[in-house]
A = this chain, B = another copy of it.
């Protein structure tokens, strides 16, 4: 049923509950038709300041993009070598947007994006051919691996902040890394305010790992200070339970514990996960 306001919305309570409230044995999925066309636009900028202005201009102009991503600093540098076109000298920030819809809609929105992002960009790359589009997204899929390959390891968190605080979150990530003497970068889903804030490490170096974990812990405080969340997409599990305690008020913590108790009074369902410590 598409519309149902009879009882409480228990479905939404279970979605994202990480198996702590119930075992889901079946699901109905709603399918949307695939768009006829999806045309990406990549724009390169010198740094985070002009890059986040560009992101904001897409949002403020109400362009209904299907994708709005960014790569900053060391993340862009790590992946630049395999970018399927030329990356301009001095590029320290990349914005990736995608226009989708019917062929005509996508072409129009793509032109709007090029017109909006192009003038202040060092360069843009806006492939049209299906193969070139596919190459771009294959490249994007490899970004995390390219970043890991720089030092052999990384410590990364998936904080999210309100859209108007994204620039501060990118800058704050760099400051935390610098304070701990770590090579630092971020990339992620700008349209969701969701960062993959990352510290590049040699994971065989216990001192570096310890510094990166301390720095990662400060990322949570950064997200909360900006009105955000400690997890935009990966969830809480065991690792972020202490961060969750900082995000939630005592009243919210009490509600979480009581709801868990309602669904699972014996504590059998995925014990030790999701709950604030």
CA–CA, A233 and B3, complex, Å:
7
By secondary structure, the A interface counts as loop
Which stretch (A78-86, A116-124, A125-133, A256-264) binds chain B?
Answer: A256-264
Closest residue of B by beta carbon distance from A33:
B62
Looking at the assembled complex, report how far the CB atom of A217 sits from the nearest CB atom of chain B, in whole angstroms: 15
What copy number does this chain have within its complex? 2
State whether B262 touches A162 (Cβ < 8 A).
Answer: no
Count residues on chain A whose CB falls below 8 Å from chain B CBs: 58
Looking at the assembled complex, report how far the CB atom of A233 sits from the nearest CB atom of chain B, in whole angstroms: 6
Which stretch (A50-58, A136-144, A170-178, A234-242) binds chain B?
Answer: A234-242
Residues of B within 8 A of A229 (CB): 1, 3-6
CA–CA, A4 and B1, complex, Å:
25
CA–CA, A7 and B254, complex, Å:
12
Looking at the assembled complex, report how far the CB atom of A185 sits from the nearest CB atom of chain B, in whole angstroms: 20
Closest residue of B by beta carbon distance from A247:
B6
Residues of B within 8 A of A101 (CB): 105
State whether B234 touches A193 (Cβ < 8 A).
Answer: no
State whether B192 touches A3 (Cβ < 8 A).
Answer: yes
CA–CA, A21 and B1, complex, Å:
24
State whether A6 touches B244 (Cβ < 8 A).
Answer: yes
Residues of B within 8 A of A2 (CB): 160, 163, 191-194
Given known pairs A62-B33, A102-B105, A262-B262, the reply for A255 and B5 (CB within 8 Å) is no
| Contact residue among B5, B13, B227, B248 (Cβ-Cβ distance under 8 Å from A233) | B5
Residues of B within 8 A of A247 (CB): 6-7
State whether A3 touches B232 (Cβ < 8 A).
Answer: yes
Closest residue of B by beta carbon distance from A235:
B5
State whether A8 touches B16 (Cβ < 8 A).
Answer: yes
Closest residue of B by beta carbon distance from A165:
B1
